[in-house]
Amino acid sequence: MASESLPFSTPPHLVDPSANLTSFSISVPDSDVKDLKTLLQLSHIASPNFENSHNNGYFGIPRDALVDLVSHWQTDYSWRKWESALNAFPQFKITMTANGDDGDHDTYVIHFLALFSSNPSAIPILLLHGWPGSVVEFLPLLQHVRSQHRTPAELPYHMVVPHFIGYGFSSPPPLHRDFTHVDNAGLVAKLMHTLGFGNGYVVQGGDLGGATAPVVSKLDASCRLVHVNMLGIPPPKDTDIEADM
């Protein structure tokens, strides 16, 4: 089903045509799925030895676990099932130009899932995934919210779930420089403004998203609230951690 025909797929505000907002659905070629199966079939797993026979992880991943994982991906895992699950939600691609202090004005394409409300009082929520991760982390939440609010008029939120640059179906990072969570923070903040949420939005993140979300609020006064489920707090400058312990 095309994204534009799905419920909750209508953005509440006009989007500047230069951003090239387009609906999107995932369609991985059969040849790519076949290539994965072939690589798994050709993957050689070492014979049992002293180290790989330990199941406590001391010497790395146990051989039995690796055998089970390869078998699962070969015989049980269904990419088409996950493709269908993702395509059940509105998806978009949008073009963003970086406004980096370092002179980066490169153009990037951001892929994102969304549930848009038609309620004028709906609260925009930016949901940021972790590393290694993807928008799949938020599928259970999106499924739950959609089940509780059957129509766009009932939905009390606008939920925007982007893939960071370098993840999923967003652009790869640039080759000429490092691209950090601070860079991603600037782009997703700009994404929210481009979608018309410059009057205020909230952000949630975990893992990499937990590091990125506070930066979003630092860069953008329109970010009114930050929630994280992982927060890294560095020690104060010149602190001797060993001595303090």
Q: What is the pLDDT of residue 101?
A: 61
Q: How far apart are CA 81 and CA 127, in angstroms?
A: 23
pTM of the model: 0.90
Q: Alpha helix (H) ranges present in the chain? A: 30-42, 63-71, 79-87, 139-148, 181-194, 208-219, 241-244
Report pLDDT digits (tens) over 138-165. Answer: 999 999 999 999 999 999 999 999 999 9
Q: Tokens in use for 160? A: 């925007």
Q: Tokens in use for 138? A: 């938020």
Name the residue ranges covered by the structural domains of the chain: 3-25+85-228, 30-82
Q: How far apart are CA 84 and CA 78, in angstroms?
A: 10
Beta bridge partners of 124: 158
* Average pLDDT over every residue of 230-237: 83
* Average pLDDT over every residue of 64-85: 96
Report pLDDT digits (tens) over 200-209. Answer: 999 999 999 9
Task: Give the DSSP per-residue string, 107-139.
Answer: EEEEEEEEE----TTPEEEEEE--TT--GGGGH
**CATH number of the 3-25+85-228 domain:** 3.40.50.1820
